[in-house]
Each structure stands twice: as C-alpha cells, then as structure tokens.
Amino acid sequence: MGELLAGVGRRSVAPPLGIKTAGFYSREGVVTGIDGDLSATVLVLRGLGETVVLAAIDLCMAPQWVVAEWRTWIASAAATRPECVLVNMSHTHSSGALAMTQPEFSYQRELLERYRGMLAERLVEATIDAVADLQPARIAAGAGESRVGIQRRETGPDGYVFLGEVPDGPIDPSVGVLRVDRLDGTPIAIAGSYGCHTVVVGPRAPVASPDFPGPMRELVEQTFGAPCLFLQGGGGDIMPCWGMGHETDNTDANERIGWMLGGEVVSVAASLRTHVRRGDRVSIPSLLGPGQTMRPLVPVDGETCTYLGARSRAVELDLVALPTLEKAEAILAERRAELDAALAGTSERAVTIARHFVAWAEILVDAVRTGRRTAPMEVQAIRVNDIVITAIAAEVFSATTRTIRERSPHAATIALGYSNGVLCYLPTRDAYPAEGWDVGDRYRIPDQVFQSYLLPVAIDPGSEERIVDATLGLIAELA
C-alpha cells in the first residue's frame, strides 16, 4: 500500500543590516530595519520509495548555478536527488542582494557572501527539521482566483511599452492551493501560489521585507495553525494592483494585498477535505420523510500515495544575433565613460546603474570573442498523486502559466516561475519589439532589458514556446 509521509520545517532568512537590496535600481542606501518575517519554509513529501522537496524562500533572485548548489545540499539532507528538489523564490525586491547577481555591489562582497552562505545553511536546517517531522499524510489541491495583480506592460502614445498599469489587461488570476494534512484532517502545511511582482514595499523603504507574501502567510497560519508556503507563479508582467509603493511606509497597502490574497487561499484550503468524503445516499428517518435520502460525510480510506516523482532538464535557448566585435567594444567604451561621469557626480543610483552596465558590456565583448550562442534554462515537473507542479528558472509571464495549466492533462496543475534560479525574463513572442530587439536600447520595460540579467543579448523570441513544450514533455514523462 502506498503511504504518503509529509513534514515541514522553517528558518528565518532575514538579511544582515547594512546590506544592499536586489530588485530596485532606484533604491539608495542599505537595509536599516527588518519589516516582517523573511523565511525559508521546506515541505518534504515521501512515498513509494521517492522523496520530493518544495522549498519556498523570501529572496529576490539567484543564478541557476547557485541554486543548483543549494539543491544538492538539500537533496543530501532529505536523502533524495537534486532533480527532486524545487526551490521557489518569492522575488521580493526587499531581500538582500547576492554578489553574482548585483556586480555593482562588489564592494560589499564579504557581506553578500556571508548572506549567501547563511541562506544555504538555513535551507538545509529547515530540510532537516522537515525530515524529522515526517508523518503519515494526505494531500489535496484546489484553485481560486484573485485580482490583486494587474498587467504592467502599458503602451504609451508613442507606441513604446513602458512599466505602467493596464486595468483591463490580461493576467493569470489563478490561486493554486496545496493542503497537506495529517490522517485526521488537521493541516501540516498549506501552500498558496500566485503570479505577481512582490514590489508593494517600494524603493523608498530602507527595510528588508517579504512584501505581501508576509501578511498573506500570517493570515493563513493564524487560520489553520500550520506553516504556509508562498509560491511565486507567472509574475513577470504583473504588478500589484496598487503598484509599487512610493511612500517610505508601505504597511497599509502591503497588508491589504496580502490579506486579500490570503483570504482566497484560506477559502480554497477550507474547502479541501482530505479525511472525509461524500458517501452513498442513505435514509435518515429522524430527519427526512419516507423515501428521502442524503449523502453524509464518511471517512476516506485507501492508499495515500499513488504516485510520487520528479523530472528536470536544461533547455539551451538560442540568443539573438550578436553584434560585431567593433560594435561591442564601442559599447563597452561608452559604458565605461558613463561610469566615470557617474562617479564624478553625487547620484548613488547613477553609479549603481553605470557599474552594472559596465559589467554587462564586458560580458558582451567576451561573448562576441568566444562566439557564445546559447543560454541554459531549467524546467522541472513534480507529480504527487494526480497533482502536478511545474517550475521554470525565469521571470515567467502570466500567459505562460495559463498555457501550461490549460495544456496539462492534470486538472490540478500549479505552474511556477522564479524556481531553481533565474536566467532572465521569459517574454512571450508578442512581447518583443516589432522591429526586433536592439542591443543598444535599454527600453522602458524591464522584461526587454536582458542586460540586467547579464546576458550578452536577448534570448530568441521563440524561447517561451520551447520552454512550454519542454515543461509539458516532462509532465508526459511523469505519466
């Protein structure tokens, strides 16, 4: 008989004061306070000789190679394989930076390296706790909807796309919910997934914060008395409905959005029953008249684990055409001149941006000299009974998560981005400039500034379609 075991562990991952944050180029200064519980929560599932791990961490971003190291250590702690470990980042723009994703902060390298090491230690510790907590369990999944996200790719009168708000624009409103219970129906853990940039706590707030997933988790945990995992979905083109907070104190908006999303997670989780089900119709004479029947709740029995497995693969995505070496070197010279000018001024923001673009231009020149033509992006799929969770190592658009769910053969499919590292944005084909992507243009919409992810040039416009097909292929392998 297949038995499912589940356990959960949690550790704080609040960064040290004085660290730079990732995500906002316009944020100046360093972290001077901690606003909310930044955490790493690990859910371990074991059954039929297999073990899978879901880890949710309050972190903006990390490269795939760093998260690959973390997954190896987590897998060792859980006695499983790295491909069975999924690390999902909430993408809060108020977490600490990592030196390899923010080269302009290299002057803080020692502090950033200690922070990266602390994250790895806490993830492993939470995994060890989760394994020690393993107990007989059942799992169920459901879905709701929330409109706390808004399409952010707005087109101006000049025809250019910029970072704005499109109230009637497309989003993925799906709220995916996992409920993991003990055999008596009491919860071990609740997971809620939604796709939206975690940027309510804006660039003027000098704090580290989990952003709206913090109050969302608090609401769910107060309701059920069990840890809650926030899983980031397709938030690449989605902004919170109240946008980026420009106030120094964003508490009100942050709590409201977190509570709105948390309320939907609570509603869906409360509807999921793992220990009882509707039984056959029976007659209850004391309540009903002759011939009348009703369906009472009866205990659930049978196997609790019918399938548990995971697959992953790296897809080598094509890059668009590289410029000539002469042009690449000219761009590098321009970026270095911009840095010199910024250093002569008084704007921290200007220096930060200039340093980053110098680092990118050096990578561009190297790519031209070595003939680099591709970049790898990992996709992953995990199946638990008839529930499927997919993960992509990118800032995924809302259309992509919708497409994966619609094309998945499993009704209960939760599609995630920001998982197992992040290569770059993964725009849909129609999101690219009609005239083609230009290496010399910084654009006004982040998903076209591939330079921010230190890619020499953009990934090919057909990349999203290839990633969707690869993800669906992994789901098919798990059949």
Token readout for 99 is 């030196």
Domain assignment of residue 264, yes or no? yes
Are residues 97 and 128 part of one domain? yes
pLDDT at res. 289 = 62
Kindly state whether residues 144 and 226 are assigned to the same domain.
yes
Beta bridge partners of 193: 176, 231
Whether residues 360 and 407 share a domain: the answer is no
Contact 302, 232 (CB under 8 A): no
Q: pTM for this one?
A: 0.96
Using the Cα atoms of residue 205, residue 214, residue 234 and residue 167 in order, give the sign of their dihedral: negative
**Rounded to whole angstroms, how far apart are CA atoms 341 and 334?**
11
Distance CA 456, CA 461 (A): 15
Q: Is residue 303 part of a domain?
A: no
- CA 40 – CA 43 distance, rounded (Å): 10
CA–CA distance, 243 with 234 (Å, rounded to integer): 17
Which pair of structure tokens corresponds to residue 170?
């497309």
Task: Write down the pLDDT at residue 69.
Answer: 98
Q: Which 8-state DSSP code applies to residue 158? A: T
**pLDDT 10s per residue in the chain (479 long)?**
699 999 999 999 999 999 999 988 888 899 999 999 999 999 999 999 999 999 999 999 999 999 999 999 999 999 999 999 999 999 999 999 997 778 888 889 999 999 999 999 999 999 999 999 999 999 999 999 999 999 999 999 988 999 999 999 999 999 999 999 999 999 999 999 999 999 999 999 999 999 999 999 999 999 999 999 999 999 999 999 987 877 889 999 999 999 999 999 999 999 999 998 888 888 776 665 666 778 888 889 999 999 999 999 999 999 999 999 999 999 999 999 999 999 999 999 999 999 999 999 999 999 999 999 999 999 999 999 999 999 999 999 999 999 999 999 999 999 999 999 999 999 999 999 999 999 999 899 999 999 999 999 999 999 999 999 999 999 999 98
The three-state secondary structure class of 459 is: strand
Same domain, yes or no, for 131 and 263?
A: yes
> In terms of domains, do 258 and 383 share one?
yes
For residue 220, being part of any structural domain is answered with yes
Question: Is residue 37 within 8 Å of residue 210, measured between CB atoms?
Answer: yes
Give the span between the Cα atoms of 115 and 123, in whole angstroms.
12
- Length of the chain measured in residues: 479
Within-domain flag for 309: no
Q: Say if residue 136 is in the same domain as residue 200.
A: yes
Structural domain span for residue 346: 323-370
Residue 310 included in any domain: no
Q: Are residues 237 and 332 in the same domain?
A: no
Count how many domains the chain has. Answer: 2
Token output for 63:
């490269």
52 shares its domain with 170: yes
| Torsion angle of the four alpha carbons 258, 259, 261, 262, in this order, in degrees rounded to the nearest 10 | 110
184: alpha, beta or left? (left if phi > 0; alpha if psi -120 to 50): alpha
Cα-based distances in Å from 376 to 337, 338, 370, 424: 32, 31, 17, 10
- The answer on 227 and 199 residing in a single domain is yes
d(C-alpha 20, C-alpha 101), whole Å: 12
Alpha-carbon distances, residue 383 vs 159, 363, 370, 392 (angstroms): 43, 38, 40, 15
Q: Minimal CA–CA distance to 64: which of 39, 94, 101? A: 101
Instruction: For residue 221, tell me if it sits in a domain.
Output: yes
Are 237 and 386 contained in the same domain?
A: yes
Structure-block tokens of residue 130 = 């989760």
Q: Determine the distance from the C-alpha atom of residue 299 to the mean position of all C-alpha atoms in its chain, rounded to a whole number.
A: 36
Q: Is 120 inside a domain boundary?
A: yes
Kindly state whether residues 384 and 334 are assigned to the same domain.
Answer: no
Q: Is residue 454 part of a domain?
A: no
Do 257 and 344 lie in a common domain? no
Q: Which of 51, 61, 44, 48 is nearest to 123 (CA)?
A: 44
Distance, first Cα to last Cα, the chain: 20
| Distance in angstroms (rounded) separating the CA atoms of residues 449 and 442 | 6
